[in-house]
Amino acid sequence: MKLISVASIGLAVVTWLVVVVAIASIHQISLAVRLLILAVLLVLFGSTEWLLWSVLRPSVLRADAIELSFGPWIDRQRMQRSELAVIFRGQVTGKGRTRGVWYKSYIFAAADGKVGMACGALMFTPDGMAQFAHRLQVPMKGDFSLKVKDSVDVATA
pLDDT tens digit sequence for 70-99: 987 777 889 999 999 999 999 988 776 667
What integer is the mean pLDDT of 110-131?
Answer: 90
Residue 1 pLDDT greater than 60, yes or no: no
66 and 44 assigned to the same domain? no
Residue 25 pLDDT greater than 90, yes or no: no
Q: How many CA atoms lie within 13 A of 1 on its CB side?
A: 8
Q: Note the pLDDT of residue 2.
A: 66
Note every long-range contact of 70-76, with CB atoms under 8 Å and residues 24 or more positions apart, other chains counting: 70/117, 70/119, 71/119
Angle at 120 between CA 108 and CA 137, to 5 degrees: 35
CA distance 109 to 48: 36
- Per-residue pLDDT tens for 32-67? 888 888 888 888 888 887 877 777 777 788 899 899
Is 105 within a domain? yes
Cβ contact 20:35 at 8 Å: no
88 and 113 assigned to the same domain? yes
Kindly state the percentage of the chain with pLDDT values over 70. Answer: 93
Is 155 within a domain? no
Structurally, the chain folds into a number of domains equal to 2
Is 34 within a domain? yes
Q: Note the pLDDT of residue 155.
A: 67
Q: Note the pLDDT of residue 106.
A: 94
CA distance 92 to 146: 9
Residue 22 pLDDT greater than 90, yes or no: no
86 and 110 assigned to the same domain? yes
Range of the domain at 36: 2-56
Treating both helix axes as pointing N-terminal to C-terminal, what angle do 31-56 and 2-25 enclose, rounded to 10 degrees? 170
Q: Note the pLDDT of residue 84.
A: 92
Q: Note the pLDDT of residue 74.
A: 72
The lowest-confidence range among 8-17, 113-122, 141-150 is: 8-17
Task: Mark which of 40, 56, 72 sits at the end of a domain.
Answer: 56
Is 38 within a domain? yes
Residue 22's alpha-carbon distances to 12, 14, 25, 26, in angstroms, are: 15, 12, 5, 7
Nearest to 64 by CA among 77, 82, 86, 87: 82
Task: Mark which of 41, 56, 71 sits at the end of a domain.
Answer: 56
Cβ contact 152:115 at 8 Å: yes
Is 18 within a domain? yes
Residue 118 pLDDT greater than 70, yes or no: yes
20 and 81 assigned to the same domain? no
Q: Note the pLDDT of residue 80.
A: 92
Instruction: For the chain, give percent helix, strand, coil, nearest 5.
Output: 45, 30, 25
Burial class (CB in 10 A: 0-12, 13-18, 19+), 152: buried
Task: Mark which of 56, 74, 94 sits at the end of a domain.
Answer: 56
Is 152 within a domain? no
Is 42 within a domain? yes
CA distance 123 to 130: 13
Is 157 within a domain? no
